[in-house]
Structure 1
Amino acid sequence: MTIQMLQCFEPGDHLWKMGGRFRGKLYDHHLIYKQRCADGHLIIENSFRARGVVEKCLSDNQLSVYQLYERPADSAACLAKAEAALVEKRGYSLLWYNCETFANDCTRGNGGSMQVRRATGHVALLSTAASSAVTSATVGLVTSTHKTVHVSDQGCFGLWKWLGYTHPVVKTVVVHHPAGIAAAAGAACGCCVWTVFAAFGRDAKKSRSR
């Protein structure tokens, strides 16, 4: 990213980047851009490592990996809220007040986290599919049952058969297991929903292209 592109960032901008671990697939990082300074750029972020809201100075190279996520309607109010959280020394919470929650709260007063919602959605769908698959594997797709059938008597040179005499015989037959079939269908449905969720549940504001 060039210096010209870096200068597009304005005070109060909500920036984001892909996380550094696992090729950026595990998490994204969010922060509030403050201003250019002598050594680079001042930003305010809710840091997992620092366990709270901190102000940092990033070099041009460090800032080059960030992209604009959202530009607030009121930049001054956004920065004021970020600096207030800095003064209050607000702590970090992975679920309730992470870096994305902090940046969203400053930008538009709504501190939700798309990453947390996606993660909980993945866990819920995975749990549903896995539990259904385990149930299906445990009970099986088929089961055996005993069924009484009547067969013709063959005695007296077939006379009893000719006269229509029969006798009951208990046979073991294989039938579909209703619970196993239902569990397998539930697992398949859960996997399909999970695939759709993973493919189309992405944050539209994030562009993965560089």
Structure 2
Amino acid sequence: MSSYAFSITSAGTKISNQAEMTYFNTELGEDVKVLSNYSYVTVASVYSYTISPTDNGDSDPEVTRYVPIGGTASIRNTIENTGNEDDSYVLDVNNLTGDSGDIYTEGTEIKIFIDENGDGLHNYGEKELEKNEDGSYITPTLAPGEFLQLTYAATTPSSVSENDNFLLSLNAQSIGDPELIKKSDAEVIVADGPALNLTVGSDPVCHLR
């Protein structure tokens, strides 16, 4: 897990405010300062998070990967806690309809891994994300401002043809506020021969760890 060097004000923080007015008193011949009573505001809990790449709101996938026949596509996502409360997130990856079929990491499961070096690839030895008691993937608890880089991998079968495509969707749900549900879609396209995928990231070069 990593964190940016900022976050929003913590829930429960008490903020005080006092107004000040200054006027010139002609009888005294001097400035007089008047202070109001203090007013207090307590910061409420805010659950908020982002997934990168962010859902663009239309039917186009946020990520496209090209793989050879029988090749494995690694899809990178970053989830960040942008609220002011600690939170964790239930994740799953689903095959979508309207494409050339379904693809998986192994068997009939698409596995999610922690992208420990942030290169967007599933590398040997990188840990699979833990699962909850329901068998769904769940992130570690992220403090406000913390983010977690993830990848999931899916392999195309040897029976596919060039230009076959496969649609996948990463879905996330906040534990702190289950109504906060987000997704990020990806498309895997089979290419003839080796494939080169370029990724432009917006994460900072330097992380706090």
TM-score, with structure 1 as normaliser: 0.21
Higher strand proportion: 2
Larger radius of gyration: 1
Higher helix proportion: 1
TM-score, with structure 2 as normaliser: 0.21
